[in-house]
């Protein structure tokens, strides 16, 4: 007999949408289990720009999206403060862009209530030294930067402390029905192949770009356009605030700061498979060329890596638009009971990172209606715990840079990390120098389950710096074996897996320094550790 879990609601997908739904359900007292085929934010939720939209980008073309974004922007700054950097943002008009749009945009923002403020060009250039000196008008907006990794992990953790259950590395392989209603889902453990049945009457499909596939398991037709966008990570943080191009939204017109780096992009191309993470050098070059308008010289700047993610865009009709930009980016909440005659199945898709909370609210409102629960949503007020930890580490003797990182990062783990730093000399080892991560932090953030460097990376930023894990991955793997947290085989596997992933992202940007960095990494791993080409990821 397979193990069986009983619950009221199953949420499929550990992206921001799924964890948002999970938390909202839990806050309203509904028992729920979230299942994710790999780790949190495996999908689009970690493959995006990290822009906490002020809504200004949408003001002209999509009033509703603009209003939603601005409202959520204000809410998230309050409720997930540890994952948001209220950087502010600017919209800058470059000479080649249309003058008329500026006036239209200013008016549209005013109409929907998004505050904009013109700043003198000289002042803007002083604030952002990399900005094109030829810009003709600059406006300040309340954009922000959001860290999708900590966001999803903290929202999920909050739900878990309130009683929710999460199964990672658990892929939904079947959605089972009794008559015209859902009765259970079957998940398969990605490492062991072991299957578990989860009995439930209500399943929420929050599988992002995998949404059609999941719907297919329930034999429900669902047409999603997966619109793949490319992003590139600059080697360091070149801007203090978000830099947007003041024109009708297009490709390659946003620079978003993210801790020590800047993420620049993006593009949009429709793809078939949600697993299509392929990287095209030509696309990258086009993007960089376009980016020169805002940041001259960006083509020559060092990049760490590039990555792609797909926007799941819901389309009611069948005529496809290859740029994907004209399909609605608003949220789509589908009740398959009314739409397709299948009870107990709901899809939530589309939308944005910025509006994930609102998407969850709408979804759970529908769930409540179905379950006859009469509890109002509180996620717009109830905060998740802050990451700030400035009151800790006063006596801790570690590098100031590592301390600065902890001040903004340690959050709930602060006490535990502080104790271990103050008592164990080894815990003070800075295992990842680029991002200043100590072993104490790694220990505290290590998720249960199989040792996996990529999972650790999502929780700590391990290996996210310029060296892309050349030194730190092996340090962590070695320490984990030494401390009995992983077997030799597990550590070996994890190293291969992590290195393969990083090499892919570096390859496409590998010119100049990054190609040397890549060579160094490959040499170190191939020669000194005996890892070779077979080191392919097999999860």
Report how far residue 59's alpha carbon sits from residue 66's, in angstroms, rounded to the nearest whole number: 5
Stretch that binds ligand FAD, among 158-166, 279-287, 351-359, 490-498 (CB under 6 A): 351-359
Q: Which of 18, 144, 466, 505 binds ligand FAD (CB under 6 A)?
A: 18
Q: Which of 150, 354, 454, 470 binds ligand FAD (CB under 6 A)?
A: 354
* 9 near ligand FAD, judged by CB under 6 A: no
Q: Phi and psi for 244 in degrees, rounded to 5? A: -115, 155
Token pair 């409102």 is found at 365
Footprint of ligand FAD on 228-257 (CB under 6 A): 229, 231
Nearer Cβ to ligand FAD, position 279 or 478? 279
**What is the total count of residues that contact ligand FAD (CB under 6 A)?**
39
Nearer Cβ to ligand FAD, position 37 or 241? 37
* 49 near ligand FAD, judged by CB under 6 A: yes
**Sign of CA pseudo-dihedral 309, 508, 263, 130:** negative
Q: Phi and psi for 467 in degrees, rounded to 5? A: -85, -5
Footprint of another protein on 89-148 (CB under 8 A): 127, 129
Q: Which of 7, 26, 45, 79 binds ligand FAD (CB under 6 A)?
A: 45
* 464 near another protein, judged by CB under 8 A: no
* 237 near another protein, judged by CB under 8 A: yes
Report how far residue 110's alpha carbon sits from residue 91's, in angstroms, rounded to the nearest whole number: 15
* 493 near ligand FAD, judged by CB under 6 A: no
* 401 near another protein, judged by CB under 8 A: yes
Q: Which of 10, 11, 12, 112 binds ligand FAD (CB under 6 A)?
A: 12
Q: Which of 322, 404, 511, 537 binds another protein (CB under 8 A)?
A: 404
* 302 near another protein, judged by CB under 8 A: yes
Stretch that binds another protein, among 13-21, 166-174, 178-186, 432-440 (CB under 8 A): 432-440
* 388 near another protein, judged by CB under 8 A: no
Stretch that binds ligand FAD, among 47-55, 56-64, 314-322, 333-341 (CB under 6 A): 47-55
How does DSSP classify residue 208? G
Q: Which of 121, 172, 430, 456 binds ligand FAD (CB under 6 A)?
A: 172
Q: Where are the beta strands (DSSP E) in 13-74?
A: 32-35, 51-52
**What is the total count of residues that contact another protein (CB under 8 A)?**
29
Q: Which of 322, 516, 523, 537 binds another protein (CB under 8 A)?
A: 516
- For 108-151, what is the HEC assignment? HHHHHCCCCEEECHHHHHHHCCCCCCCCCEEEEECCEEECHHHH
Stretch that binds ligand FAD, among 38-46, 110-118, 293-301, 333-341 (CB under 6 A): 38-46
35 binds, among ligand FAD, another protein, none (CB under 5 to 8 A by kind): ligand FAD
Helix (H) or strand (E) holding 294: none
Q: Which of 9, 11, 32, 36 binds ligand FAD (CB under 6 A)?
A: 36
- Of 437, 441, 381, the residue nearest 410 (C-alpha): 441
List, as own/partner pairs, every contact residues 29-33 make where C-beta atoms lie below 8 angstroms and the sequence separation is at least 24, other chains included: 29/373, 29/375, 30/364, 30/367, 30/368, 30/371, 30/373, 31/7, 31/163, 32/7, 32/8, 32/159, 32/164, 32/165, 33/5, 33/7, 33/9, 33/164, 33/165, 33/166, 33/167, 33/198, 33/200
Report how far residue 270's alpha carbon sits from residue 451's, in angstroms, rounded to the nearest whole number: 35
List, as own/partner pairs, every contact residues 475-478 make where C-beta atoms lie below 8 angstroms and the sequence separation is at least 24, other chains included: 475/429, 475/431, 475/432, 476/431, 476/432, 476/439, 476/442, 477/453
* 35 near ligand FAD, judged by CB under 6 A: yes
Binding pattern to ligand FAD, positions 407-436, x when CB under 6 A? ------------------------------
Footprint of ligand FAD on 299-328 (CB under 6 A): 309-311
Closest distance between another protein and the C-beta of residue 522, in Å? 13
Helix (H) or strand (E) holding 307: strand 303-314
Query: Is the distance from CB of 453 to CB of 494 less than 8 angstroms?
Result: yes
How many C-alpha atoms does 436 have within 13 Å on its Cβ side?
15
Query: Is the distance from CB of 367 to CB of 346 less than 8 angstroms?
Result: yes
* 291 near ligand FAD, judged by CB under 6 A: no
Cβ count near 475 (within 10 Å): 18
37 binds, among another protein, ligand FAD, none (CB under 5 to 8 A by kind): ligand FAD
End-to-end CA distance of the chain: 25
Report how far residue 184's alpha carbon sits from residue 179's, in angstroms, rounded to the nearest whole number: 12
* 214 near ligand FAD, judged by CB under 6 A: yes
Tokens of 14: 């550990």
Contact residues for another protein (CB under 8 A)? Answer: 127, 129, 235-240, 257, 259-260, 301-302, 399-401, 404, 433-434, 436, 465-467, 470-471, 513, 516-517, 520
Residues that bind ligand FAD (CB under 6 A): 12-18, 35-38, 42-45, 47-51, 53, 171-172, 206-210, 214, 229, 231, 266, 309-311, 351-354
């Amino acid at each position: 007999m397979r193990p069986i879990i009983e619950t009221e609601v199953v949420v499929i997908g550990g992206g921001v949408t799924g964890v948002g739904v999970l938390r909202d359900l839990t806050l309203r007292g509904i028992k729920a289990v979230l299942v994710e085929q790999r780790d949190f934010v495996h999908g689009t939720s970690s493959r995006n720009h990290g822009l906490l939209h002020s809504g200004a980008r949408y003001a002209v073309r999509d009033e509703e999206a603009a209003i939603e974004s601005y409202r959520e922007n204000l809410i998230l700054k309050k409720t997930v403060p540890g994952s948001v950097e209220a950087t502010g943002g600017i919209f800058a008009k470059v000479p080649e862009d249309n003058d008329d749009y500026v006036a239209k945009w200013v008016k549209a923002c005013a109409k929907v209530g998004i505050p904009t403020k013109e700043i003198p060009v000289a002042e803007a250039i002083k604030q952002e030294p990399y900005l094109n000196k030829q810009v003709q008008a600059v406006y300040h907006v309340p954009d922000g930067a959001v860290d999708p990794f900590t966001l999803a992990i903290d929202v999920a953790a909050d739900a878990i402390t309130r009683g929710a259950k999460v199964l990672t590395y658990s892929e939904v392989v079947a959605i089972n029905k009794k008559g015209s209603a859902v009765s259970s889902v079957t998940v398969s453990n990605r490492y062991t192949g072991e299957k578990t049945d989860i009995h439930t009457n209500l399943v929420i499909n929050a599988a992002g770009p995998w949404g059609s596939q999941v719907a297919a398991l329930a034999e429900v037709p669902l047409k999603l356009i997966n619109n793949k966008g490319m992003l590139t990570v600059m080697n360091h943080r070149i801007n203090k605030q978000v830099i947007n191009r003041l024109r009708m939204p297009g490709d390659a017109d946003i620079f978003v700061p993210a801790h020590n780096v800047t993420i620049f992009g993006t593009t949009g191309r429709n793809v078939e498979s949600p697993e299509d993470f392929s990287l095209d050098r030509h696309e990258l070059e086009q993007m960089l060329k376009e980016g020169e308008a805002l940041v001259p010289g960006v083509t020559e700047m060092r990049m760490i890596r590039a990555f792609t993610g797909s926007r799941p865009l819901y389309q009611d009709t069948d005529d496809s638009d290859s740029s994907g930009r004209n399909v609605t980016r608003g949220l789509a909440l589908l009740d398959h009971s009314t739409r397709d005659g299948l009870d107990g199945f709901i899809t939530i898709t589309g939308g944005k990172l910025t509006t994930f909370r609102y998407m969850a609210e709408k979804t759970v409102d529908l769930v409540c209606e179905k379950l006859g629960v009469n509890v109002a949503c509180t996620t717009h007020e109830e905060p998740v715990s802050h990451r700030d930890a400035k009151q800790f580490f006063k006596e801790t003797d570690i590098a100031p840079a590592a301390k600065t990182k902890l001040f903004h990062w340690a959050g709930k783990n602060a006490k535990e990390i502080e104790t271990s730093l103050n008592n164990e000399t080894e815990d003070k080892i800075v295992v990842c120098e680029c991002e200043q991560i100590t072993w104490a932090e790694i220990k505290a953030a290590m998720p249960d389950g199989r040792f996996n460097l990529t999972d650790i990376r999502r929780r700590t930023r391990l290996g996210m710096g310029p060296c892309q894990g050349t030194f730190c991955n092996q340090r962590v793997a070695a320490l984990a074996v030494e401390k009995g947290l992983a077997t030799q085989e597990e550590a070996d596997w994890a190293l291969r897996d992590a290195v393969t992933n990083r090499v892919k992202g570096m390859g496409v940007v590998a010119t100049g320094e990054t190609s040397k960095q890549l060579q160094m990494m490959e040499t170190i791993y191939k020669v000194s550790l005996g890892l070779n080409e077979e080191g392919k990821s097999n999860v």
